[in-house]
Chains A and B, each alone.
Chain A
Amino acid sequence: EAQVTQNPRYLITVTGKKLTVTCSQNMNHEYMSWYRQDPGLGLRQIYYSMNVEVTDKGDVPEGYKVSRKEKRNFPLILESPSPNQTSLYFCASRPGPRDEQFFGPGTRLTVL
């Protein structure tokens, strides 16, 4: 089944404790993105990747890192999480720049 997976789905952590949210897609898509969703603010892009080893900042990259060492994986790294990073995070992938985005199931992160 073609899909985008994320892990973990739920995470409660404390300020400053490094964490990684994994994202994997099995559709051989070139493009992958990370979004955060906050009430009243919609979906805001954090980082995106156009191919292996090619990443760039989105609208809200501060406090986040990403890597794209393999085409299928695009992990999101929070080196020192803070409470303002409490949010719902979605990973997405698409074949090309103007194609439909396929979203993962979401990761609800709480930073205490």
Chain B
Amino acid sequence: GENVEQHPSTLSVQEGDSAVIKCTYSDSASNYFPWYKQELGKRPQLIIDIRSNVGEKKDQRIAVTLNKTAKHFSLHITETQPEDSAVYFCAASRGGGSYIPTFGRGTSLIVHP
């Protein structure tokens, strides 16, 4: 089955700095890669996703890059703000009817004012 590794497990940055979270996956058939943000005590919510037919996607201060050859994808947050503090999860899945996403173990991002 799919295996998703996520690094780092904890990331501490100063407000205004950039943050990068990296994930690798094992199944070359995976073609959908969402990122979820979970604030303390709340449910995970999708912040951005990328499909395997594109290499990069941006949405304001966040971007995701995908390297299918190397089987890794990354989340980039620029100009971090204290409200970006949360746990971020990457996931990978193949298409088709079953679509069982495999999640990374999460990265706790702390943005210091």
Q: A101 with B46: in contact, given A41-B105, A42-B105, A43-B89 (CB under 8 Å)?
A: yes
Contact B43 A103 (CB under 8 A): yes
Q: Which residues of B contact A (CB under 8 A)?
A: 1, 6, 9, 31-32, 34, 36, 42-46, 49, 51, 89, 93, 95-106
Choose among B44, B45, B49, B99 the residue that contacts A97 (Cβ–Cβ < 8 A).
B99
Interface size on A, residues (CB 8 A): 21
Interchain CA distance A97-B46 in the complex, whole Å? 15
Partner of A48, one of B44, B46, B96, B100: B100
On A, residues with C-beta under 8 Å from B are 31, 40-45, 48, 50, 56, 58-59, 90, 97-98, 100-101, 103-106
Bound Cα distance A45, B43 (Å): 15
**Smallest Cβ-Cβ distance to A96: which chain B residue:** B99
Q: Which residues of A contact B34 (CB under 8 A)?
A: 100-101
Decide: B98 and A56 in contact? CB cutoff 8 A: yes
Q: Do residues B44 and A31 form an inter-chain contact, with CB atoms below 8 A?
A: no
Please tell me which one of the listed residues A44, A48, A56, A100 contacts residue B49 in the complex, with CB atoms under 8 A apart.
Answer: A100
8 Å CB contact of A98 from B9, B36, B51, B102:
B51
Q: Min CB distance, A100 to chain B, in Å?
A: 4
Contact residues in B for A41 (Cβ distance below 8 Å): 105
Q: Nearest Cβ in chain B — how far from A111, in angstroms?
A: 21
Known: A40-B105, A42-B106, A90-B44. A97 touches B96 (CB 8 A): yes
C-alpha gap A34/B47 in the complex (Å): 20
